[in-house]
Amino acid sequence: MANVTDPLARPIHGTNPQNLIEYITRQRIYDSQYWKEHLFGCTAADVAEKAALQLQAIGGSYGGNAKPTRFLCLVLKMLQIQPDDEIVDELINNENFKYVRALGAFYLRLTGRPADIYQKLEPLYNDSRKLKYRNPSDWKILFMDEFVDQLLKEDRVCGIALPRLPNRDVLVESGYLDGPRISAVSALLDLPSETGGIDDESKLEQCQDGAEKVLSLIMKMAQDGNNIAIDTLTERGHTVSDQGTTGMTESEFNGGDTHGSENVNDDGNKVKPIDVENDKKKRKSTDKKRSKSKKKFGSLFKVSAKPLKDETDSTSKQATKEKEVEQSDEYWNNQRAKLGLNPLRE
């Protein structure tokens, strides 16, 4: 009876709340050790405490046996007990524990109404804290705003199929939402009001200054490794390197330092610059020497099995001599004498 949904829980999207997670994944969660030892008989307060103290990453299933993560186990437990909306709001508004906020956001995306999802999850775009995300085979760093963007735009997150979410424009036209989303970047733009008596040139200057501020912030986010910031810069034609720098000079990247062309140690001592071409030539020469040594001595199974030229020549000469001796009359007379036969007639 530990896996049965609370009898007082209301159906969500016309079905049992636990059915929002696929049957196979649900059975693997029931069979997991964390579910049996730590989540038996838990209340909403216990789930929040365990999420704050024991949750160290988000993700779905991992490994060859598709073992569920603790994050997925806690999500299923919340679907089973169905906490109140006020408790879910407290989880989302919690700023001290980022994984508690991620758990509440994921649960709201599964069970909430579309208008509530947009109203309560869009403020989380301002949260840029890092989250550890566990893939089926490896780990990666995911930011909170990226995770929220996936919840609002993608169909599957953490290996779970999310309910269909209509576009924001549709909800605005139908009257469920009031106007477009107000971004936190709008305060940096300093856009002039339409009723103010300001010239068009001054308005254009203010808009350009705000756009430059936003672009500098996006560049900083790209340097920190934010994938969304890197994608936006590439769409606008900015070059993004492997480290996330976007078309910046060396002095700008080093914080305005004039010693961008010199190589300096941590102690402040100068280091000779590395000549890439000479290094490539040295590597090629060493590779050639290694290949020659391998061809000369060979390995145990491949090259050494082939006979050398001197050995093949000596063996071929011995074989020809033996054939000539076998074809002579003396050889056959000796063999017949051993057998007690008369010699061959001339």
pLDDT in tens, 91-119: 999 989 999 999 999 999 999 999 999 99
Give the pLDDT band of residue 309 (cuts 50, 70, 90): low
Give the pLDDT band of residue 187 (cuts 50, 70, 90): low
pLDDT in tens, 10-29: 888 888 999 999 999 999 99
CB 109 within 8 A of CB 121: yes
Q: How far, in Å, CA of 31 to CA of 24, rounded?
A: 11
Is residue 290 over pLDDT 50?
yes
CA distances from 191 to 180, 182, 194, 227 (A): 16, 13, 9, 28
pLDDT in tens, 203-250: 777 777 777 887 888 888 888 888 878 888 888 777 766 444 444 433
DSSP letter at 121? H
Decide which of 225 and 148 is more confident.
148
Residue 63's closest CA among 133, 120, 136? 136
| Range in 14-23, 147-156, 298-307, 327-336 the model is least confident about | 298-307
Is residue 265 over pLDDT 50?
no
Give the pLDDT band of residue 251 (cuts 50, 70, 90): very low
Phi, psi of 21, rounded to the nearest 5 degrees: -100, 140
Q: How far, in Å, CA of 221 to CA of 239, rounded?
A: 15
Residues 6 or more apart from 150 whose CB is under 8 A from it?
A: 157
Question: Taken in order 82, 83, 89, 93, is the CA torsion positive or negative?
Answer: negative
Q: How far, in Å, CA of 44 to CA of 50, rounded?
A: 10
pLDDT at 144: 93
Q: Is 281 helix (H, G, I), strand (E, B) or coil?
A: helix
Lookup: tokens for 152: 């609002």
Cα distance from N-terminal residue to C-terminal residue, the chain: 109
Tell me, yes or no, if the pTM score tops 0.75: no
What 338-344 contacts at long range (C-beta under 8 Å, 24+ apart), as own/partner pairs, is none
